[in-house]
A and B are shown apart, each in its own frame.
Chain A
Amino acid sequence: DAKTTQPPSMDCAEGRAANLPCNHSTISGNEYVYWYRQIHSQGPQYIIHGLKNNETNEMASLIITEDRKSSTLILPHATLRDTAVYYCIVRVAQDNNNDMRFGAGTRLTVKP
């Protein structure tokens, strides 16, 4: 699985959009980009994933660059409850025998 690079921490004002970047320059053509978050010792929560097209769901939007070497997770209107560690994971998705390799992630702090 390709390695990912994320900033260790970010701050965001409540109500503003939070844009979390992720670099994955060695991504392969069959690898998806996944985003999870972990709120203070709770179980990781799935947010969104995509292959090459931009994706949007009720939680967030995922923007993947055309060369697929980087992506951005966008929380459109951050709230205090979005304070968490956000993990960007790149992995082959055709085989459900693979584990999710969580790195250090980005600690997002949403401030009032």
Chain B
Amino acid sequence: NAGVTQTPKFQVLKTGQSMTLQCAQDMNHNSMYWYRQDPGMGLRLIYYSASEGTTDKGEVPNGYNVSRLNKREFSLRLESAAPSQTSVYFCASSVLLGRGETQYFGPGTRLLVL
């Protein structure tokens, strides 16, 4: 049981390049999330998916697109990377039980846009 996995761990892009960040979870969770964390700051929600086939914008969605490929996988795409998107990206998944929802996070992808 690997939990939440993310690829790649590190990436360097030039301004204008595109890339897709991959996330997968093996906990059979319905909901998945993409956050970004800038240096010295808390996490901010980019997009989330409450269930397979649905996605919704979070606090900072501009410049990103997402795909909930199936229940396990939730990808984040940068179509034209900008230096302002330099950040650490975390994927999370969650399950809603009787005692409330708990989110579990992946190890993160460190992205540098030059």
Contacts and interface: CB of A to CB of B under 8 A. Distances in A.
A2 interface: no
User: Which interface class (under 10, 10 to 19, 20 to 34, 35 or more) fits B?
Assistant: 20 to 34
Nearest to B97: A93
Interface string A67-99: 000000000000000000001000001111111
Given A41-B88, A44-B43, A99-B33, A94 B106 contact: no
Interface in B30-46: 30-31, 33, 35, 42-43, 45
Nearest to A31: B100
Interface stretch (A9-17, A19-27, A101-109): A101-109
A102 B96 contact: no
Contact of B56 (A42, A51, A97, A105): A97
B107 interface: yes
B4 A51 contact: no
Given A42-B107, A104-B42, A99 B102 contact: no
Given A101-B42, A102-B42, A104-B42, A96 B96 contact: yes
Contacts of A94: 96, 100-101
Contacts of B100: 32, 49, 51, 93-94
Contacts of B42: 87, 101-105
Contacts of A44: 43, 90, 92, 105
A102 B59 CA distance: 13
A74 to B, nearest CB: 19
A1 to B, nearest CB: 12
Interface in B1-53: 4, 30-31, 33, 35, 42-43, 45, 48, 50
27 contacts: A41-B88, A41-B110, A43-B4, A43-B92, A43-B108, A44-B90, A44-B105, A46-B104, A49-B100, A51-B100, A93-B96, A93-B99, A93-B101, A94-B96, A94-B101, A96-B30, A96-B31, A96-B96, A96-B101, A97-B31, A97-B48, A97-B50, A97-B56, A99-B33, A99-B35, A99-B45, A99-B48
